[in-house]
Amino acid sequence: MENILITLCARGGSKGIPGKNIKSIAGKPLIAYSLLLAIEFQKKHPNTLIYLSTDSSEIKDVVDNLCLAEVNTNYVRPEYLANDTAGKLDVIIDVKRFAEEQKHLKFDFVMDLDITSPLRNLEDLENALTNLKNNVDALNIFSVSPAGRNPYFNMVELNEEGFAELCKKGTFLTRQSAPAVYDMNASFYIFKREFFLQDLKPKLMQKAIIFKVPHLCFDLDEPIDFEFMNFLIQNNKLTFDFIK
């Protein structure tokens, strides 16, 4: 049976929405939605371990107070991985190293659930993991949503002379005829063990495939995003099975 690590990375500092990882949304701390889904996944995959990565004692206390025995909270994120310049992948690598040393095992897959993009369900995770397993060449998979804009059709940038031009060159007359593009919604990433054995850190997408989430999914960047998501959950407006 495969060993799987689920990481939940929650840094204490947040400038866009202060304290957003533990801010209440529809009656629960935001982080609770990711934790509950991780536990549901663990029930189907008993060889799964769940680890919290945080530098914040406040976040750790909130998670401990949820009394979720399945969640390991004894890892403390080092200071050099708890600033604005630390990359998410480095954070995942460090907690993976800690968990493997603590449990004396190697993980076949590492699944990261982003706290601030919780609109996903067990079926999404199961299907994405299956897709990654079935692709022998791929090393990781990440969630995306269809993009609202297309760089081949209606996204522009300024050239060296200061004039606007399309971001991507092409002769497409409609957005529908342009190549499909996607937004990275940050909801989840899944890595094969082989990913961490190669020097791919700066090349996350070199051998990556995408999982197009078949329902609404977005991350929380601004306070208005939080209000919108709170409304959707609280008023049962989500059109998919969502753990509440």
For the domain that residue 190 is a member of, what is the CATH number? 3.90.550.10
Instruction: Let me know if residue 84 belongs to a domain.
Output: yes
Instruction: Let me know if residue 164 belongs to a domain.
Output: no
Instruction: Let me know if residue 194 belongs to a domain.
Output: yes
Share of the chain above pLDDT 90, in %: 80
Residues in the chain, how many? Answer: 244
| CA distance linking residue 167 with residue 179, whole number of Å | 13
Q: What is the pLDDT of residue 87?
A: 84
Q: Which domain holds residue 132?
A: 4-146+180-234
The total number of structural domains in the chain stands at 1
- 3-state SS assignment for residue 13: coil
Q: What is the pLDDT of residue 59?
A: 95
Instruction: Let me know if residue 71 belongs to a domain.
Output: yes
Tens-place pLDDT, residues 48-65: 999 999 999 999 999 999
Q: Is the pLDDT of residue 114 over 90?
A: yes
Q: What is the pLDDT of residue 164?
A: 96
* CA-to-CA separations, 93 to 9, 21, 88, in angstroms, rounded: 11, 21, 9
Residue with tokens 């949304």: 25
Q: What is the pTM of this model?
A: 0.92
Instruction: Let me know if residue 94 belongs to a domain.
Output: yes
Q: Is the pLDDT of residue 154 over 80?
A: yes
Instruction: Let me know if residue 65 belongs to a domain.
Output: yes
| CA distance linking residue 221 with residue 225, whole number of Å | 7
Report, as an integer, the average pLDDT of 94-117: 97
- Which helix (H) or strand (E) element contains residue 166? strand 164-166
- Closest among 206, 219, 190 to 112, alpha carbons compared: 190
- Closest among 76, 71, 68 to 50, alpha carbons compared: 71
Instruction: Let me know if residue 204 belongs to a domain.
Output: yes
